[in-house]
Structure 1
Amino acid sequence: MSLSSLLTAKKKELKHCNTVVTNMLGEKYEILGSEMRLIDKGLPFVVDTKPDLQMAMVEPGLYFGSQDPAVNIDILQTHGIRHIISIGIKLEIVFEDIQYNFIDLMDIPEAKISEALKACLGIMRESQGQGIFIHCNAGVSRSASVVIGYLMIKKNLSYDQAYQEVKSIRECIKPNDGFVKQLKALEFSDFSSFF
């Protein structure tokens, strides 16, 4: 049997599948041949339906998570938080004795995670290890991506190693595909530009 006929036979055994694509507006499309059919209109962000008050400890004095702990003074004081880095979320509630920093970053694949990472590293360096809490909306993509990048740089880890370390402390993380691609590209970078 020739390779061509073997491939043709194996191709016939494959199960049919449909491709579903979600755009930046949360619209889901099914691709059928050369046509796209709208199948659902969702939201382009994670809907926060209940408070997520968990703060994942990356290392002593460094935590990350959702925006919910950032507006709870008892949790912040319990963890010794003196600095909050808000990624893409402007907090409406702020407390005295806490320094706030806002990093403008949308949770879309096209956004430049390296710029947010550089800004966060600068803030972390200036805070000299005083309790830091990094958050985004849900603590799933943006803040997790920054923490993964931080560990890659600090511990000289690959993306996969840093991802697994962060996943072990906050199981719900899921950096968007663009952030993953950008962070994987950092594996081959000279990190001196980040310091």
Structure 2
Amino acid sequence: MLQLCKITDSLLISNTKSACSEELLTQEGVTFCINVSRQQPFPSLGLGTLRVPVLDDPSENLHSYFEQCAGIIEDVVQKGGRCLVYCKNGRSRSAAVCIAYLMKHRHLKLEDAFEIVRIARPVVQPNVGFWSQLKEYEQCLQEEALNE
């Protein structure tokens, strides 16, 4: 079944097949797509796009993209747009990026952010490497908050 799962009013998550459905993208008012994969296609609509060239492999460094992706998502939100984050299956890479955004800009703890994403898309499960990178990111965000 094709669907874009709504995490917040402005943030959606899906797999590649759904992300490339022009009908769904138009229906949901998506203005920007973050494709968290090395080779999955982009939708053919003229939307803003970012590719995060990471495989769904625990040894991949997704952490280095958390700040950039969270910033772009927040920028889209502030401009009144809607951002779709996707990867091949919409389960690990895209979920980790969405969780990082919620931690950074909604000031949520890792477990709470994960729960919100899981409620929106029950199949989400960041791989063990991405989960540990999210834990590191949570620590970085906590340290930043203390230093402000």
- Contact 1:61 1:80 (C-alpha < 8 Å) held by counterparts: no
1:156 equivalenced with 2:107 (yes/no): yes
One of 58, 68, 77 as aligned partner of 2:7: 58
User: Do the aligned partners of residues 149 and 92 (structure 1) sit closer, same or farther apart at CA in structure 2, a change above 3 Å counting?
Assistant: closer
Where in structure 1 are there 5+ consecutive unaligned residues?
Answer: 1-51
More strand by percentage: 1
**Aligned amino acid, residue 11 of structure 2:** L
TM-score where L is the length of structure 1: 0.66
- Contact 1:56 1:169 (C-alpha < 8 Å) held by counterparts: yes
Rg comparison, structure with higher value: 1
The count of corresponding residues between Structure 1 and Structure 2 is: 140
1:121 equivalenced with 2:70 (yes/no): yes
Where in structure 2 are there 5+ consecutive unaligned residues?
Answer: none
Determine the structure 1 residue equivalent to 2:127: 176
1:135 equivalenced with 2:97 (yes/no): no
One of 36, 58, 74 as aligned partner of 1:109: 58
User: Do the aligned partners of residues 79 and 92 (structure 1) sit closer, same or farther apart at CA in structure 2, a change above 3 Å counting?
Assistant: closer
One of 121, 135, 140 as aligned partner of 1:189: 140
**Aligned amino acid, residue 18 of structure 2:** P
Determine the structure 1 residue equivalent to 2:16: 67
Higher RCO, 1 or 2 (CA under 8 Å, sep at least 6)?
2
TM-score where L is the length of structure 2: 0.85
More helix by percentage: 2
One of 95, 102, 120 as aligned partner of 2:45: 95
The runs of 4+ residues in structure 1 deviating greater than 3 Å are none
Percent of aligned pairs sharing the same letter: 26
